[in-house]
Chains A and B, each alone.
Chain A
Amino acid sequence: MTSSAWTVLPVGVLLGSGYAIPLVYRRYPHWLGTMVLGAGSAALGMAGYLAYLVATAGPVQYFLGGWGPPWGIEVLVDRWSALGLLTVTGVGLPVLLYALYSARDELETPLVGKYFGLVLILMAAMMGTVMAADVFNLFVFVEVLSLAACAIVAIKGDRIATEASLRYLILGSIGSGTILLGIALLYMVTGHLNMAFAGTQMAAALLEHPQVVYAGLGFLVLGLSIKAALFPLHVWLPDAHASAPTASSALLSGLVVKAYIFGLWRIFAIMFGEGLLEAVPIRALLLAMATLGILAGSILAIGQTDLKLMLAYSTVANVGYVFLGLGLGSERAMLGAALHILNHGLMKASLFLAAGNLLHATETRHVRRLGGVGARMPWTMGAFTVAAMSMVGIPPLNGFVSKLYLALGALDAGSPFYVMVILVASLLTGLYYAPIIIAAYFEPEGPHRRAHEPVWACTLPPVLLALGCVLLGLYPAALMAILGG
């Protein structure tokens, strides 16, 4: 266990630039690109250094203001958080590059500076959520994240986005209420907010007040599942993700829903631990909801004609995969869940950015009207194809690796039923991506004879992310060094 202020620095850099950029943008709009990419790359560099520290020297902690727990606020970067930090910054940076051009196109000019402020605050909040070691600190970052997430949907300003954002906000606030209630109940029986210290009291609390512990954990799981869009609590997700500006969709679908799962995983692992989780009947519930989510999300996605809505429903299914790993609880299943968080971030961000390019070029959101675009937009459609194939789980792409680990984990946990679920869902996934890809490459050019690739800054990010999918599929060992698998 080492101690380093590098843990809080990336959050500080992103928060600081999040507030500074809208102000500077008003006077010097041409500095925007430098500032945004500078902040994003600095955060990526620091996250990379932290991941290196964690991989070589074990978990890194930091006590804010020098006050150690149980009184002070502790920040803890363990293997999972290191992966989370890399995911947030690694997927976030290409999306920021894309947004520099797409935001000017999709938003009113005075809002562009504020949009980047919100996006950077969103990324800072995700990094904070991933490494909070204190339940109340976790709650604060979760709230900052929820508000910023609603704001980057609402900023588009049209009717659908405003309505979707309000629904997101209202359902999210039910989640906030129940999370705080859960924290209150667990604090009352354990006397600690720090997760590790609460964990030391949890066994005694479970013996003395089992109902309070059940209720507290239940409320926490409920609140975080609403925000993470676990089926059937996903009702806010499709509209919010589909109506947001392209870059927001990529961030929300690829990263934000998973930050809440990190929080839940921390509560499970540090506050309860393996032994006590067996005593609390929560895993069976998560497994049931995850299975329903995987199947229902895939089936609902097949029925969509709007490309962005289809991708949003596919996120509901993929959140199910991560919860499946959490519910199975065996070591390889957890590893699969962790990998799937990063892998799905790369795939879904690539898909949403490619979809944004397709919508911009063809001016249609209908999935059946994309015939022949493959030849007109080779880079965009190439990235879309690779990411979609990875989503189905075709080897050697990264989606295959995480699904393989989830399936192996299901066998370890002695429930081969979930291997069937993963297989069936992969087939269903193929059913909705394949027609788009086949039409794009093999159908004659329809009305899109004049469709062409957008500027390089919009073509490069989805290609980079798809390249990430291929590289992580071929060399998953690089991540295993961090995760210790």
Chain B
Amino acid sequence: MIGRLLQNFHYLVAVLLFVIGFHTMLTHANLIKKIMGMNIMDTAVFLLFIAGGYVEGGRAPILPPGPPVAGVRYVNPVPAALILTGIVIAVSITAFALGLIIKLYRFYGTLDADEIAALRSRAA
């Protein structure tokens, strides 16, 4: 049991990171911290995906010219390509969210989600 866990420790780390990110996102009132939590959560998923494509002792998946060499193992290139797209998406969401947060800060003068809710209910 312990041996299998150690062998697959990257999955364990991914799950831990996911939970940390999710927890940060839900429990912190500070909007910037929420965005940080979101990024940690995304990173956890990227790690899990990339780790799934890793082959023990595998090389970078670039085929040299000439006949294929026997006995050489390559890592799976598909997860890496996908996660590159995933990172771009996560960056766009982060940039957009930070832009909105700047705008909210100009309206309310605070980054605290609870304070914003209180200010809003007082105004209504």
Which residues of chain A have a CB within 8 Å of any CB of chain B? Answer: 136, 140, 143, 147, 150-151, 154, 157, 159, 162-163, 165-166, 169-170, 173-174, 176-177, 180-181, 183-184, 187-188, 193
A166-B97 CB under 8 A given contacts A174-B22, A174-B25, A181-B45: yes
* Interchain Cβ contacts under 8 Å between A and B, 20 examples: A136-B82, A154-B103, A157-B103, A159-B104, A159-B107, A162-B103, A162-B104, A163-B116, A166-B31, A166-B100, A169-B96, A169-B97, A169-B100, A170-B97, A174-B38, A176-B42, A176-B89, A177-B18, A184-B45, A184-B52
> Could you tell me the distance in whole angstroms from the C-beta of A42 to the nearest C-beta in chain B?
27
Structural contact, A187 and B52, CB atoms closer than 8 A: yes
A166-B49 CB under 8 A given contacts A174-B41, A177-B38: no
Q: Mark B98-124, 1 if CB is under 8 A from A, else 0.
A: 001101100110000000100010000
Q: Nearest B residue to A169 by beta-carbon distance?
A: B97
A194→B3 CA distance, assembly (Å): 34
> Could you tell me the distance in whole angstroms from the C-beta of A120 to the nearest C-beta in chain B?
18
18 further interface pairs, Cβ-Cβ under 8 Å (given A143-B93, A166-B100, A170-B38): A136-B82, A140-B85, A140-B89, A147-B93, A154-B100, A154-B103, A166-B104, A169-B93, A169-B96, A169-B97, A173-B93, A180-B42, A181-B18, A181-B45, A184-B48, A184-B49, A184-B52, A193-B78
A163-B85 CB under 8 A given contacts A173-B93, A177-B42: no
> Could you tell me the distance in whole angstroms from the C-beta of A197 to the nearest C-beta in chain B?
13
> Could you tell me the distance in whole angstroms from the C-beta of A163 to the nearest C-beta in chain B?
6
Q: Mark B32-64, 1 if CB is under 8 A from A, else 0.
A: 001100100110010011001000000000000
Main secondary structure of the interface of A (DSSP, over half): helix
A194→B103 CA distance, assembly (Å): 41
Q: Mark B9-39, 1 if CB is under 8 A from A, else 0.
A: 0000000001001100100000100110010
A162→B52 CA distance, assembly (Å): 38
Q: Nearest B residue to A142 by beta-carbon distance?
A: B89
Structural contact, B120 and A163, CB atoms closer than 8 A: yes
A177→B18 CA distance, assembly (Å): 9
Q: Which residues of B contact A180 (CB under 8 A)?
A: 42, 45, 49, 86
Structural contact, A159 and B120, CB atoms closer than 8 A: yes
Structural contact, A177 and B45, CB atoms closer than 8 A: yes
Structural contact, B104 and A170, CB atoms closer than 8 A: no
Q: Nearest A residue to B46 by beta-carbon distance?
A: A180
Structural contact, B120 and A170, CB atoms closer than 8 A: no
> Could you tell me the distance in whole angstroms from the C-beta of A182 to the nearest C-beta in chain B?
10
A70→B21 CA distance, assembly (Å): 33
Q: Which of A165, A174, A176, A177 contacts B100 (CB 8 A)?
A: A165
A177-B96 CB under 8 A given contacts A162-B103, A170-B25: no
A177→B87 CA distance, assembly (Å): 11
A140→B87 CA distance, assembly (Å): 11
A181→B47 CA distance, assembly (Å): 10
Q: Mark B72-92, 1 if CB is under 8 A from A, else 0.
A: 000000110010011001001
> Could you tell me the distance in whole angstroms from the C-beta of A214 to the nearest C-beta in chain B?
16
Structural contact, B100 and A162, CB atoms closer than 8 A: yes
A180→B97 CA distance, assembly (Å): 19
Q: Which residues of A contact B93 (CB under 8 A)?
A: 143, 147, 169, 173, 176
Q: Nearest B residue to A144 by beta-carbon distance?
A: B89
A177→B79 CA distance, assembly (Å): 15
Structural contact, A143 and B89, CB atoms closer than 8 A: yes
Structural contact, B52 and A188, CB atoms closer than 8 A: yes
Q: Which residues of B contact A169 (CB under 8 A)?
A: 93, 96-97, 100
A177-B107 CB under 8 A given contacts A151-B96, A154-B100, A162-B100: no
Q: Which residues of A contact B92 (CB under 8 A)?
A: 147
> Could you tell me the distance in whole angstroms from the C-beta of A67 to the nearest C-beta in chain B?
13
Q: Nearest B residue to A150 by beta-carbon distance?
A: B96
Structural contact, A166 and B101, CB atoms closer than 8 A: yes
> Could you tell me the distance in whole angstroms from the C-beta of A276 to the nearest C-beta in chain B?
22
Q: Nearest B residue to A219 by beta-carbon distance?
A: B45
Q: Nearest A residue to B38 by beta-carbon distance?
A: A173
Q: Nearest B residue to A153 by beta-carbon distance?
A: B100
Q: Which residues of A contact B45 (CB under 8 A)?
A: 177, 180-181, 184
Q: Which residues of A contact B31 (CB under 8 A)?
A: 166
A165→B104 CA distance, assembly (Å): 11
A159→B25 CA distance, assembly (Å): 22
Q: Which residues of B contact A176 (CB under 8 A)?
A: 42, 89, 93
Q: Which residues of B contact A143 (CB under 8 A)?
A: 89, 93
Q: Nearest A residue to B15 by beta-carbon distance?
A: A181
> Could you tell me the distance in whole angstroms from the C-beta of B110 to the nearest C-beta in chain A?
12
